[in-house]
Structure 1
Amino acid sequence: METVTNKYVVTTSNIDGAPNESNFAICEQVVSLKVLRQPAGEGSDIVVVVKNMYVSIDPYQINRMKSYSCSQGTVSAAAALLPGQAINASGVGRVVGSTHPEFKEGDLVSGALIWGEYTLVKGISLQWLQKLDTNLSFPLSYFAGGVLGSSGLTAYGGFFKVCKPKKGDKVFVFAASGSVGSLVGQYAKLFGCYVVGCAGTKQKVDLLKDELGFDDAFNYKQETDLNSALKRYFPEGIDIYFDNVGGEMLEAAINNMNVFGRVSLCGVISEYTDDSKRAKPDMVAVVYKRIKIEGFLSVDFMDIYQEYISTTIIYLQTGELKAVEDISDGLDSIPTAFVDLFRGNNVGKKIVRISQD
């Protein structure tokens, strides 16, 4: 096989509100593998062609799809996407062609792939490409931005490095059944904290309490007064709030924080598609309670990567940590998988399986 036809997902226009399936299309290109079966000559581009197996579906991508977002000028992973441009994302695949001396056909790798059937990894993207340890008996999906990928590092670093927990701290996690929140709650429990999570359906609430070990959980959609709800679940106040959503819950959490409380801002999905939901926390409370509020990205935690990965692998091997995944099949399912993040239809880490070989 000297060439392959590569299908990949693109946006058809900028998306400045809630996304829907009509915002996406599938394009095709022909990829030649012939030249990639030999080492690169002097002056040639170094390229690794990966057959994608799993790709990560993440809500932050909506900010790249907008005509403008302040996030687009911060880090390369948040750079603006033009309509018709391939959408890069974390993923796992198998090398099918390479001019790179460290990668050969058949290698399983993780890194910055695209929402497509194949990825030509070159240039700066090569620094993120890494071989997977085939001795680890975990599902490959774990490495596609999941518990052993960006979601895991985000949860671990956002909790331990940003929040600096103490045993016995009272921890509140919003969107606790999601890819990051579900891990934060478990890390917090394993560390010795009291943990309450909230989610938007009974199924998700039951998951938190019955399977993930949260001390308590509630459905925020059934609460008419978020302030009162948090007072009920945290009569002695909140020490740590891990926020994935923003909006009114951030305001209520600030009102219920203890002195020297810590707020870890992982994401504000409620504000990504609706400017009217911007949080307006009581800044007087922030000042007088000396509350620390910090936003972050997973790339901020590379200095603790080895600590995170070794700790998480042990927890997974002992069964103390559970990875919750929501896997869809086929390239064609990517648009709906992405849109479902904003409809609250996912449970755990959203991943699309493109190929199994």
Structure 2
Amino acid sequence: MTSSAASAPTTHHSVLLASRPHGEPTPENFTIERTPVPEPGPDEVLLRTIYLSLDPYMRGRMSDAESYDEPVPVGGVMVGGTVSEVVASNSDLVTVGDFVIAFTGWQEYAVAPANAVRRLDPSRAPLSTALGVLGMPGFTAYAGLLEIGRPQPSETVVVAAAAGPVGSAVGQIARIKGARAVGIAGGPEKVRYVKEELGFDVALDHRSPDFVDELAAATPDGIDVYFENVGGAVFDAVLPRVNEFGRIPLCGLIAQYNATALPEGPDRSPVLLRRILTRSLTVRGFIQREFVKAHYRQFQEDMAGWIADGRVRYREDVVDGLDKAPEAFLGMLRGTNFGKLVVQVGPDPTRP
């Protein structure tokens, strides 16, 4: 085994799921424990976490309801993507001092199979971008929009949560492909950012009392692609404006993640199904990993190039300290973050 000159401590902190939430999560659903730093076995590496990604899908993993992945067990470490430094290695695939992206969760140190991590080049882009615009959120936008939405020049693409890491990339890629981009965000500051800094054609505030009318004015020729990651009232406003043969890539429903019961009122599923039928709509749910094998390498090349030439911009919301992760996560579910939410767990040697 090889190890770094500055050896790992004997103990470290982890954030565990203390209980399953009912409705909106609370701080009591988390607990922070100090445990021994694990030792890597054959063909494994010991990682020191530098950045932890916080993402909406984690709310679903706190629940034991049926989903596309296994729930976090009560008492288990919260899941999450990480950027880490290799501090010990029992493999020829990865060496001490390498920076890697992994899926080791809310903890300061972790052991992972060497063949399950991917090395990062810190000279290409800041390490944190591997969790955002050059990582899972950016790829979600890229694959969902281009493989399912397939925007054509002059078509109208609408995306909710447009100031977030997925929505912001969706609109900018749509513009690169020659489509109109209409972004929906929450609050004047985020709306201004979407329009003025990201360059969307139109930015709307879903909190406006006139939102439905403003959406109609912004989409006079209807909507050809609606990239869905929110659901709720925004979807209700958008659906009547989706054109014949419209496409709806569906990657998230954050407005519904804390729901404990079905909405009150009549069953509206017949209205939805009739709209899908009569407008010949394509509604396609997806998880980004299904596109990784075929498209991830091209995504990396395209997105890095677009960032370099200024056609894609991004924003990060960095929180300092693993102990702040629960509070930051709860705020994200309420929409308080601005940009890709990342926790800096430990020092980043590539930054001053």
TM over 0.5: yes
In structure 1, what residue type is equivalent to 2:248?
V
In structure 2, what residue type is equivalent to 1:65?
M
1:299 aligns with 2:305: no
In structure 1, what residue type is equivalent to 2:62?
M
Task: State whether residues 72 and 79 of structure 2, in contact with CA within 8 Å, keep that contact through their aligned partners in structure 1.
Answer: no
Match of 2:3 in 1: none
What RMSD in Å do the two structures reach over aligned CA positions? Answer: 1.7
- Cα deviation for residue 348 of structure 1 reads 1.4
Task: State whether residues 92 and 141 of structure 1, in contact with CA within 8 Å, keep that contact through their aligned partners in structure 2.
Answer: yes
Calculate the TM-score normalised by the size of structure 2: 0.91
Count of residue correspondences: 336
d(CA) in 1 for partners of 2:135 and 2:12?
Answer: 25
Match of 2:34 in 1: 28
d(CA) in 1 for partners of 2:106 and 2:26?
Answer: 16
Alignment of 1:88-127 (within 5 A): 88-122=79-113, 126-127=114-115
1:18 aligns with 2:24: yes
Change (3 A) 1:6 1:180: same
Task: State whether residues 327 and 350 of structure 1, in contact with CA within 8 Å, keep that contact through their aligned partners in structure 2.
Answer: yes
Match of 1:288 in 2: 278
- Cα deviation for residue 265 of structure 1 reads 0.7
- Cα deviation for residue 252 of structure 1 reads 2.3
d(CA) in 2 for partners of 1:32 and 1:272?
Answer: 33
Task: State whether residues 255 and 282 of structure 1, in contact with CA within 8 Å, keep that contact through their aligned partners in structure 2.
Answer: no
Match of 1:325 in 2: 316
d(CA) in 1 for partners of 2:9 and 2:193?
Answer: 46
d(CA) in 2 for partners of 1:292 and 1:85?
Answer: 38
- Cα deviation for residue 46 of structure 1 reads 2.7
Change (3 A) 1:325 1:134: closer
Match of 1:63 in 2: 60
CA deviation profile, 1:233-273 (whole Å, cap 9, x unmatched): 11110000011111122232221111100111110001110
1:52 aligns with 2:58: no
1:258 aligns with 2:270: no
Change (3 A) 1:161 1:31: same
Task: State whether residues 140 and 166 of structure 2, in contact with CA within 8 Å, keep that contact through their aligned partners in structure 1.
Answer: yes
d(CA) in 2 for partners of 1:243 and 1:220?
Answer: 14
Change (3 A) 1:199 1:277: farther
- Cα deviation for residue 127 of structure 1 reads 4.1
Identity of aligned residues (%): 33
d(CA) in 2 for partners of 1:183 and 1:336?
Answer: 26
In structure 2, what residue type is equivalent to 1:282?
L
SS in 2 for 1:222: coil
Match among 108, 115, 140 for residue 127 of structure 2:
140
CA deviation profile, 1:283-339 (whole Å, cap 9, x unmatched): 212111101001111101111111111000001111211111111000111001110
d(CA) in 1 for partners of 2:200 and 2:73?
Answer: 41
Change (3 A) 1:301 1:277: farther
d(CA) in 1 for partners of 2:238 and 2:21?
Answer: 30
CA deviation profile, 1:140-179 (whole Å, cap 9, x unmatched): 1001x21111011101001000111111110111111111
Match of 1:130 in 2: 118
Match of 1:181 in 2: 167
In structure 1, what residue type is equivalent to 2:104?
L
SS in 2 for 1:239: strand
Change (3 A) 1:298 1:291: same
Match among 209, 223, 228 for residue 223 of structure 1:
209
Task: State whether residues 228 and 252 of structure 2, in contact with CA within 8 Å, keep that contact through their aligned partners in structure 1.
Answer: yes
d(CA) in 2 for partners of 1:52 and 1:127?
Answer: 18
In structure 1, what residue type is equivalent to 2:89?
S
d(CA) in 1 for partners of 2:319 and 2:330?
Answer: 13
1:160 aligns with 2:146: yes
1:201 aligns with 2:187: yes
Match of 2:253 in 1: 268
- Cα deviation for residue 93 of structure 1 reads 0.8
d(CA) in 2 for partners of 1:28 and 1:14?
Answer: 21
Match of 1:39 in 2: none
- Cα deviation for residue 21 of structure 1 reads 1.9
SS in 2 for 1:209: helix
Task: State whether residues 168 and 193 of structure 1, in contact with CA within 8 Å, keep that contact through their aligned partners in structure 2.
Answer: yes
Task: State whether residues 251 and 282 of structure 1, in contact with CA within 8 Å, keep that contact through their aligned partners in structure 2.
Answer: no
Match among 242, 247, 256 for residue 227 of structure 2:
242
Q: Structure 1: give runs of 5+ residues left out of the alignment.
A: 37-43
Change (3 A) 1:150 1:225: closer
- Cα deviation for residue 135 of structure 1 reads 3.5
Q: Structure 2: give runs of 5+ residues left out of the alignment.
A: 1-6
- Cα deviation for residue 277 of structure 1 reads 5.1
SS in 2 for 1:58: coil
d(CA) in 2 for partners of 1:151 and 1:4?
Answer: 34
